[in-house]
Structure formats: C-alpha cells, structure tokens
A and B are shown apart, each in its own frame.
Chain A
Amino acid sequence: MFSFFEYVLIAFYVAGLLIVSRWIGQQAFSWMPPQATAEAQRVDDLFSFLVSIGAFILLGLVGVIVYAIAFHRASPEDYSEGHPSRGNGKLEILWTATPTLLVVWIALQSFNIYQQLDILGLNQIVHLHTPLESAPAYAATVSDVPKPASETIDVFVKQWDWSFRYPNNVTSKELHLPINRSTRLNMQAQDVIHGFYVPEFRLKQDIVPGRKIDIVLTPIRPGKYRLKDSQFSGTYFALMEADVYVESLDKYNQWLAQTVSSETANDKNQAVAENIQPPKTLFKSGWHTITPPQPAIANQRKINNDT
C-alpha cells in the first residue's frame, strides 16, 4: 500500500506526534487549579497521561484529514475514483488492536491511580438503612471498618447551607482542616442530594439523604479554598458555598479553642439573604421557590442523630 519513501515520512510524522503530544501532556498540569491534597497530585498525573494520549490520537487523525484537504482535492468535473481499495485486513487489525491496547493501558493506569487514592483515603463507607441493606451485592462490598484517619469532622448539609461539627463539639460554617493529616468527613444530607467538592482537592462526593457517606482526604497546601455544592440542589444551588481553610495543626487547634459553637456568630447564609431580598434581574418569573430554612444547627444535629 505504501512506498518506502512514504513509510519514512509516516515514521517521521509519528515521531513528531509523540514529541508534541508528550509536550502537551506536560502542559496539562497548568490547566488545573493548585494541588491542595495528596490525592490531587495523583489525579493530575493521570490527567497529564490522558492528555498526552488524547493529543496523539487527535493530532494524528486530524493531521491526515488536513493533509487530504491540502493535497487530494479533485477538479470539479472529475468524478473518477480516488483509490479503489475497499479494505485492508492488516490495517484493520492494526487499528482495532491500537485502541484496544490504548484503552487497556488507560484503564490500568486509572485503576492504579484509583487504588492510590484509596490508600490515601478515598473510600466512602456507605451505611445503608434503606431496604437495599439486605442486597448481597452491596453487603459484600461495603466495608464497615472505617478507614483510619487522624481527625473526624461531621458535615451537615441542607438546602442551601453547609455546617461542620468538630471533635470538641464546636460547630461552624467554616471548614478548617489541619495540614498533612488525613481527615475523615462524615457527611449527611437532610433534604436532597448535595455534592462535596473543592476543585483544589480534586475529590467530589455526592451526599445522599438517608445515607451516611464518608470521605477521607489529606490536605497538603495551606490556604483558603471554596467548598462548592456539585449536585444540582434546587433554586439557590449556585449560592451554596463555604470557606475552607487548610492550616497548621497549631493554628487549627487555636481556631478550635477560640471558636465558640454558635449558630449566630458566623451566620451569613446567602440563600436566606437572597430569599428575603432577591437580586434585581431584568426578567422576573415570579415562580415560587422552596424557602431556605433559617440556620438552626442544634436542631439539625438532632435530626441527623436518629438516622
């Protein structure tokens, strides 16, 4: 099918592609937010790998298409054939085998990285209290042994409000995490499905009402981040954010000692504020919405305890 000269050209093309796609893969790290957890580093390694392979395939195929557009145009009246070949066994085996090998490679890498996240703590323990509990498939895989973690913080979430309870019973609207220590977040939703997501952490976990869901993470970079709700949770979904502070153990303990548990001290729920005073939008539908409950952490604790 090809002449010797063409084989040489193709070899150069592939070599060039390898270099370029590897370079693009390296760039991928800079497209991500800062890596604030140990898990984030692993995820970014995987992303870089995926971008390299993706760039290779994309540039390879688009290159051929562009080449054809540049050199294989027919004159308007010329309806004769280009090449008569209807297939080529070897080539077809090659291009079935190539994606197969590539996806096996990608799957193994992803599995590997997933296992590492697991070592680092991404393993949610689902305590079902629904009828599903008896389902053997679940029972067999859901581990009841909690992963070891040095800190445990309770996360309570409801429309459209986050709150956190620390080991010494302090409750706050802020999430404070000590650096370089694995922390377990015990998460419970009250009304609808919400999602725990801090882009710099790379981790995300839906919180399903009626289930207790844990996530364990290890922050490694001090700073202030934003916790977001990643699962659409109704009218004021966009406002459902909270501040996250990653700080040294000393500072963390200091903050815990200073902060008195209170519902009013740092109470500024944006959804409540907006429900009372909606922003001036050009179009107003006047459609009804669920009224966000006033923050009442004590009350919430009671509800969550009997689940």
Chain B
Amino acid sequence: MTHDMSEAIAKNREHQNDWRQYFSFSTDHKVIGVQYMVMTFIFFLLGGLLAMIIRAELLTPESNLVDRPLYNGLFTMHGTIMIFLWIIPFNAGLSNYLVPLMIGARDMAFPLLNAISFWILPPAGLLLLSSFLLPNGTAQAGWWSYPPVSLQVPGDQFINGEFIWIVSLVLIGISSIMGAVNFVTTIFWMRAPGMTFFRMPVFVWSVFSAQLLQLINLPSLTAALILLLLDLSFGTQFFKPEGSGDPIIYQHLFWFYSHPAVYIMALPAFGIIAEVLPAFSRNPLFGYRSVALASLGIAVVSIFVWVHHMFTSATPDWMRMTFMATSMLVAIPTGVKAFAWTATIWRSKLHLETPMLFAMGGAAMFIFGGVTGVMLAATPFDIHVNNTYFVVGHFHYIVFNTITMAIFAAIYFWFPKITGRMYAEGWGKLHFWLTFIPANITFFSMHPLGLQGMLRRISSYDPQYQGWNVIASLGSFLLGASTLPFIANIVGSWLYGAKAVDNPWHATGLEWTTSSPPPRDNFEEIPVVNRPPYDYGDPKYSFVENSDNAESNR
C-alpha cells in the first residue's frame, strides 16, 4: 500500500466518525442505512407512546381518558406509524446498510435514488403527524381505512385527516418502490466475484424476496389509495355503495398488498435470525439451501392468500375455501425455517450474548404466532375470532415479539460494525428481559380476550373483560419502560463504548472482513468469495483472534 493510499484511508475514517454526515444528503448506503434506522426508531417511540395511551384507556371498561374520536385517531395512527414508519422502513435501512457489505459491493446500484428514497420519508412522516393539528384531527378509520367509514368526513374540510393520511401513504409507497428497484438490482447485478446465489447469506435472500413482493404488490395499494382519494375529495364513486361503487373492491386491492406486507416485514426478520443463530451457536445454518429457498417460497405463496382477511366480508364459499387452502400452504416453508433454526441450535456451543437472546426469544415467539396464524387460516374458527383481540394478539406476536425482537437482535449484532464500538452487555441483557417478559404479558393476554369475544378497535368494553385488559395494560407500560435502558446503552456506547475489532463475534460473512466501521467504499479490495456461507466448522473462525475484545464483550 502506498503512503498516499493509507493517508486517504485515514482521512476517510475521520469522515466516517463525523456525526454531521448523518444529517446530510449522503449517497453512501451506510450513512443512508443509519439515517433510516435512527429516524424510524423515533417513529417507533412515538407509535409506542400512542399504544400506551390506548392501553391506558383500556384499563377500565368505561371511556374516560380520551374521547371517542381521539381514541379512533390514536389506534389509526399507532397502526399506521408502526407498519409504515417503523418496521418497513427500518428493514429498508438495515438492508441498505448490510446488503452491499454482505454481497461484496461498493454501494447500492443507484446511490442517488437511494438517497432520494430516504429523504421522501421524513416529510411524509411529518405530514402524517401534522394531522393531529387539524381542527377535526387525524384519520380515524383504522390503518385499513375501509370505505365507506373512511369516506365519512365530518365538517366538509377539503384538507382533512383522511386526506393527509392518504397523501402520506402514497408518498411512503413511492419511496418503497424506489427502494425495491434498487435492492433487487443491487442483489442481482452487484455481487462480488464468486458470490453465487447459493453463497449469499440468508439475510440477503430474504431481503431479495421481500423487495420482490414490494415491486409486485405495492402498486395495488397505491391504486386503492388513489381511488379512495378520488372518492373522498373529487366526487367519484368507486367505493361508494350509495352510488354505483363497491366497498369490497377496496378490500381486495388493499389486502392484495397488505397481506404480503406482513412478509415484507417478517422476511428480513427471519433473515436476521438466520444470521445470528449460527454465529452464537457456532454451527453452520442447518439446511441452508432449503432455508434460502423457503424465503422465496413464502414470498410466492403469500401473494395468493389475501382473502383470509375477508372471510366475513360477504365472501362466497368458494373463495373462503380456496383461500383457506392457500393460507395453510404458507405454513410449509415457514415450518421449514423454524425447524432449521431449531436444528441449528441443537448440539451447539451456545453463547448467550444479547443478540442471541433476542434472536432466540424472537424465534420462540414466532412459533407461537405461527401456530395461531394457522388457526386463523381455518375459516370456521376465524369467523369467530376475526376482528377480535385474538387477532390483535396474534399479529403482535409477529410484529412485536418476532419482528421487533429480531430488529433489536440486529441492532446489537451489527452495532460494533456500524459504530466501531461495543455496546454494554449487562444493559443489553437487562433490556432483553425487560422486553421479553412484558411483551408476553401484554400480547398473550389479548388471546383469551379475543376468544371471549372482545372486539378490536372498541374504546369501551363490557366489564367482564376487565381482568385480562388490566394485565395487558400493565405489561405494555413495562414494555414502554424497557426502551429506556436500550436508548441509554446505544447512545452511551456509541459515544463512549470500548473500541470494537473487525469481527467481535467470530462470525462469517463478508461484512465482518472489513474494518469497523467500514471505509467509504466498504472494502479496500473487492473480495473474491470461494467458500459456502455459515462456515462455522472452519478453523478460521474457531480461534480467538482478539481476546481483548472477547473480554470487553462481557
């Protein structure tokens, strides 16, 4: 290496540690990734705050904390924020950071487009929040925004909560489409020499599958929203029953995207689990090929199951039975994944650091959520619990107990790579237990409530339901508190944590071969790949390279 080059690299490092870059229009996929992750985490906190107000209202049967329009606005905003401004864009951020590193690329295929995709989000999010200031408040029709309820806007203002809701969602959708084009192209064309499809980490496979779903299905939501906007503000009658419209068409268009959306959220989480479990059990990922292909399988099947959200929506028998069958099929590739994770842990050498705790906790909770998911696919049972708290419990086992837990696993796992510093292990473990136990208290309680018939979206309820509601609410307050040690740990460690080595976990994967944090172009030299992924049997990863670091991990 020439003197010039090392100087350039040193300069680069300096720039890398400059916090101001995160507030700039950068085209570096790593900076963009961090921008996404930090911004969406702020929305997660906001969405969580709204959830706690909802749970506070539900402490008692009567409506006594917030009035009914506000309650309806709160659950609408909570759901919208959590899905469209937390999980989906967080995954985009994490994938942005990791995918080029994992496939040995210098950046994403279209760096400028990448930056634009991100910069659409903050204005869209602020726009959505601004609707709290409107005289008649936010949208109140739930994140599904089913017409005709969503078209009933009291007070005839042209700019109303529903209007703003639609516009911000269309903007977020545009950002996602641009991101999807970028991810699919990058994974297809930018892989390093030797990085064949079957040498790609499962995380990359799952991002690929999820982003394909965005490309195929998101246009359907955009169409639904635009037609809804025309009905709402421009006098058309696509969905208006009192005219010539049909509100059920909206439901088809909506769920054609929003069912796959759960896999757009979940697949990257499965990918995270598939990275973390092998590293901390020192085993190759068991059945790598089937796990990789299962990601694609899940994506394909999940395009054809949307009507299971509409079993009670005047859906004819043939449709109920067809979509019951397709919905059950998803259980097969999903089952393959869950079995493979379990077999990876079997006869292993477990290291229970924080990322592993979150990944294992997430995997175990996913099995529970998956089981109730198959139950919901069984039409006769779904007819009873549809739109009750059973469903709310089920999907929070997926969106919180699996996906959000996996996201925490990812943050801890790649924290040293991203920041160049170690987080504090004790605080991480505290965070895990403060999350895992209350999450189960909160979301388990919703299942018996639903079986007993408590409906979702109600702002007051019959006194018979109070017991489990109090438990769920107390759990949710604890869950809210659990973010405090996390924030303290992340902020503190980012500023003052011990310096991290390149590969603190002795993990495989190209991202661990470059420095922490990686230089501007990721690799000083583009790597050539000649080994299978998850090569944990290889002695290269079996000795302790840097015992200093192993100390500071604990």
Contacts and interface: CB of A to CB of B under 8 A. Distances in A.
The answer to whether A and B come from one shared complex is yes
Contacts of B372: 54
A218 to B, nearest CB: 15
B318 A236 contact: no
Contact of A76 (B334, B336, B351, B457): B351
Given A46-B380, A289-B68, A54 B321 contact: no
A243 to B, nearest CB: 12
Given A54-B374, A132-B246, A76 B550 contact: yes
Interface in A57-102: 57-58, 61-62, 64-65, 68-69, 72-74, 76-88, 91-92, 95-96, 98-100, 102
A208 B282 contact: no
B360 interface: yes
A74 B155 CA distance: 65
Given A114-B320, A285-B67, A287-B136, A210 B241 contact: yes
A215 B339 CA distance: 42
Contact of A230 (B64, B72, B284, B312): B312
Interface in A136-160: 138, 141-142
Tell me which of A31, A130, A131 has the highest count of chain B C-beta atoms within 10 A of its own C-beta.
A130
B348 A202 contact: no
B148 A287 contact: no
Contact of A285 (B70, B246, B247, B336): B70
Given A69-B350, A95-B336, A123 B317 contact: yes
Contact of A289 (B154, B336, B378): B154
A232 B68 contact: no
A234 B314 contact: no
Given A232-B146, A279-B62, A86 B286 contact: yes
Contacts of B380: 42-43, 46, 110, 113-114, 117
Interface string B337-378: 011101101111111100000001001100110011011001
A76 B554 contact: yes
B141 A85 contact: no
A203 B383 contact: yes
Given A77-B550, A287-B70, A287-B137, A110 B284 contact: no
Interface in B133-192: 135-137, 140-142, 146, 148-149, 152, 154-155
Interface residues of B, number: 112
A302 interface: no
Contact of A43 (B146, B350, B384, B452): B384
Interface string B285-311: 111111000000000000000000000
Interface string B96-119: 000000000000000000000000
A33 B86 CA distance: 36
A237 interface: yes
Contacts of A230: 312, 386-388, 455
Nearest to B452: A33
A203 B324 CA distance: 17
Nearest to A280: B64
A62 B80 CA distance: 32
A208 B289 contact: no
B10 interface: no
Contacts of B290: 87, 92, 96
Nearest to A229: B455
Contacts of B452: 31-33, 199
A282 interface: yes
Interface in A189-240: 191-193, 195, 197, 199-200, 202-206, 208-211, 213, 226, 228-239
A124 B314 contact: yes
A251 B131 CA distance: 54
B457 A141 contact: no
B336 A288 contact: no
A51 to B, nearest CB: 8
Interface stretch (B11-19, B206-214, B426-434, B539-547): B539-547
A283 B70 contact: yes
Contact of A65 (B287, B345, B374, B384): B345
A244 interface: no
Contacts of B242: 209-210
B123 interface: no
Given A50-B374, A69-B350, A285-B70, A32 B451 contact: yes
A191 B240 CA distance: 10
A105 to B, nearest CB: 10
Nearest to B366: A61
B383 A202 contact: yes
A142 to B, nearest CB: 6
B65 to A, nearest CB: 5
A106 to B, nearest CB: 6
A61 B370 CA distance: 12
Nearest to A233: B149
A95 to B, nearest CB: 4
A167 interface: no
Contact of B149 (A81, A234, A284): A234
Contacts of B336: 92, 95-96, 99
B312 A205 contact: yes
Nearest to A110: B378
A79 B541 CA distance: 7
B288 to A, nearest CB: 6
Nearest to B56: A282
Interface string A103-132: 110110111011001100001101000111
A288 B457 contact: no
B68 A236 contact: yes
A237 B532 CA distance: 56
Nearest to A232: B457
B63 A281 contact: yes
B335 interface: yes
A82 B364 contact: no
B331 A103 contact: yes
Given A138-B316, A226-B462, A193 B148 contact: yes
A289 to B, nearest CB: 5
A69 B152 contact: no
A231 B367 CA distance: 29
B384 to A, nearest CB: 4
Contacts of B542: 79-81
Given A64-B342, A106-B378, A208-B247, A285 B148 contact: no
Interface in B11-29: none
Nearest to B246: A130
B355 to A, nearest CB: 15
A65 B70 contact: no
Given A81-B282, A289-B68, A206 B332 contact: no
21 contacts: A43-B384, A46-B380, A58-B368, A68-B350, A77-B547, A79-B542, A80-B542, A86-B284, A88-B286, A92-B287, A96-B335, A99-B334, A114-B379, A126-B314, A192-B148, A193-B146, A202-B384, A230-B386, A230-B455, A235-B72, A238-B459
Q: Which 5 pairs, one residue from A and one from B, show the smallest C-beta to C-beta distance?
A: A199-B453, A74-B349, A99-B335, A82-B348, A210-B241
Interface of B: 62-70, 72-73, 135-137, 140-142, 146, 148-149, 152, 154-155, 241-242, 244-248, 281-290, 312-314, 316-318, 320-321, 324-325, 328-329, 331-332, 334-336, 338-340, 342-343, 345-352, 360, 363-364, 367-368, 371-372, 374-375, 378-381, 383-384, 386-388, 448, 451-453, 455-462, 506, 532, 534, 536-537, 541-544, 547, 550, 554
Given A51-B375, A81-B283, A193-B313, 6 more contacts: A85-B283, A204-B383, A208-B314, A235-B140, A284-B70, A287-B70
